[in-house]
Amino acid sequence: MKSRAVKWFLLCGLILMMTTTVGAASGSSQYTPVEHSEHQRAVFMQSFTMMNGQLYAVVDRIEWYEGEEANEIFRQREGDSDLTEAPDGYYIVNDQEEQITLPVSDSARVFLQLYDHTGSWEDAQIIWNQEVSVTKFHSIFQNDKLIDMGWFPYHLTVENGEVTQIIQQYIP
């Protein structure tokens, strides 16, 4: 538990550092919210595993809010808080923890904002919507030595019961 807390603290520090240098790292300093679609779900990904030659994502559905919508939901749910706006401009609602197992298409598109490229903090940088293969994402998700990919929310596109797209949600 202590190790996870230390990793979380270091990740928060890294993200804070990256937000001040994002333009140099990404070629674009503009954050763009994920566009919602009918088949999209916001989730926390609990595991991303291979079973009998098929990739599966085990997820917990959440509600993801940004901007003024996040502020409104925050005020409704946290009315006794001294704050009047959602911290950092987003708010996550997860009233019921669940485990939903979804098969992942071999051709699913995966877009990441931040991940451990080399195992060194100095090389970790925000690159907006960097596309990686599903196989590469599986490898990244299994390696939690530097950045645990399970800490991030994701937006999954699910079509015909199968995940066809994964977008890592940037957290300021």
Quote the strand ranges of the chain, DSSP E: 40-51, 54-61, 63-66, 90-93, 100-112, 130-132, 153-159, 162-168
70-95 pLDDT per residue, tens: 999 999 999 888 999 999 999 999 99
Where are the domains positioned within the chain?
Answer: 2-63+98-168
Query: What distance in Å separates the CA atoms of residue 149 and residue 138, rounded to the nearest whole number?
Result: 10
- CA-to-CA separations, 63 to 14, 15, 74, 95, in angstroms, rounded: 25, 22, 12, 9
Angular region, 10: left φ>0, alpha ψ -120 to 50, beta rest:
alpha
15-71 pLDDT per residue, tens: 444 433 333 333 456 788 888 889 999 999 999 999 999 999 999 999 999 999 999
